[in-house]
Chain A
Amino acid sequence: MAEIGKVRIRVPSSIKQGDVVRVRALVIHPMEIVQRRDGKPVDKNYHFIHKVVVTYNGREILAAETTQSVSENPFFAFTFRATEPGTLKIAFLDTHGGKYEGTVDIKFS
């Protein structure tokens, strides 16, 4: 569990200006599911990622609301248009107030 919040982001090794780049991101997280006792769901503060925000040079390009129907160690894929060099940042927010961020530098070759 010590690895909770470890973010891994993969982008293609060579990016040209104007390319539509496909990004794959993974975060280590348990995504706790609803427990049931006698068929009734237990009410407690379940620990799962409920929001994902992707920003590119400070501008938000994608936001996602996620639920426990997303698997453990969630994986997301998306694309973005690389218009300028800079930083792509992905932030994962969970229900216990955790914020896990991963960044990747976008450079043109």
Chain B
Amino acid sequence: MERTPSASHITRRTLLRALAVVGLAGVSGPLLGPDAVPAQGNLGALQPEEKVEATMKRLFGSRPLKDGSSAIKLDMPLIAENGAVVPVTVEVQSPMTPADYVKHIYIISDKNRRPMNAKFTLTAAMGTALVGANLRLGETTDVRAVAELSDGTLLMAKREVKVTVGGCGG
């Protein structure tokens, strides 16, 4: 009989303490958890590994891709001896006025594990729709350039590059 009140007293205190701990954890958990916000270089934040068809579907859905081989100049070597550095320049014929310009240029290489390579967001202030970059190509592959115009039209051009030595670290 002597212990009953003290036992109930402890229970109440423990309960309150437990509630307080749960409350704190609930607040601090998402803020302080080390894995709560994955860093931008972690696998989850990278472009997914997929086939190029899946990339095209993910980026453009079922929107029609027009043949842009006359409007897009895809400048890159026919044979790249070293896949680690393949210079690619994409130039799209466009007046580049605020009313009619190229909004995005995507560079996609079919056989890379992560086919989506680079996405450029352009503005009319650029004067011409020209972007260039050095790519890493794992093996002989088609490289596609997709241009999204300001009216939503999608144009695509592609060309094959022969790669003698792959550039994705084996």
User: Contact residues of A with B, CB < 8 Å?
Assistant: 20-22, 24, 32-34, 41, 43-48, 50, 56, 59-72, 74-81, 83, 95-96
A-B contact pairs, 21 of them (CB 8 A): A20-B127, A33-B169, A44-B41, A45-B39, A47-B41, A61-B125, A62-B123, A64-B121, A65-B119, A66-B118, A67-B114, A68-B46, A68-B136, A69-B109, A69-B112, A69-B135, A70-B135, A75-B134, A77-B89, A77-B132, A81-B125
A88 to B46, CA, bound (A): 29
- Taking A33-B168, A45-B39, A46-B41 as contacts, is the C-beta distance between A71 and B127 under 8 angstroms? no
Interface assignment of B117: CB less than 8 Å from any CB of chain A = yes
Pairwise interchain contact A43-B43, C-beta atoms closer than 8 A: yes
Interface centre among B113, B116, B117, B134 (most CB of A within 10 A): B134
Query: Closest approach, in angstroms, between the C-beta of B99 and any C-beta of chain A?
Result: 16
Q: Does B28 contact A (CB under 8 A)?
A: no
A32 to B39, CA, bound (A): 15
Contact B134 A95 (CB under 8 A): no
A67 touches B47 (CB 8 A): yes
Chain B residues at the A interface, C-beta cutoff of 8 Å: 39-47, 49, 84-87, 89, 109, 112-114, 116-123, 125-128, 130-137, 167-169
**Assembly CA distance A71 to B117 (angstroms):** 10
- Complex alpha-carbon distance, A21 and B109, angstroms: 28
Main secondary structure of the interface of A (DSSP, over half): strand
- A33 and B52 CA atoms in complex are apart in Å by 19
Say whether A44 contacts B46, CB under 8 Å: no
Contact A74 B133 (CB under 8 A): yes
Nearest CB in chain B: distance from A29 CB, A? 12
Residues from chain A with Cβ under 8 Å of B121 in the complex: 62-65
Collect the chain B residues with CB atoms within 8 Å of residue A76's CB: 131-133
Contact A71–B128 (Cβ < 8 Å): no
Find out whether the CB atom of B169 lies under 8 angstroms from the CB atom of A67.
no
Would A71 and B125 count as touching, CB distance under 8 A? no
Complex CA–CA separation, A56 to B134 (angstroms): 23
When the two chains form the complex, which single residue of A21, A62, A83 contacts B131, counting CB atoms closer than 8 Å?
A62
CB-defined contacts of A68 to chain B, threshold 8 Å: 46, 114, 136
Q: Which of B41, B89, B133 contacts A96 (CB 8 A)?
A: B41
Among A56, A61, A78, which residue has the most Cβ atoms of chain B within 10 A?
A78
Which residue of the partner chain B has the closest CB to A22? Answer: B130
Residues of A within 8 A of B137 (CB): 69
- Report how far A21 CA is from B126 CA in the complex, Å: 9
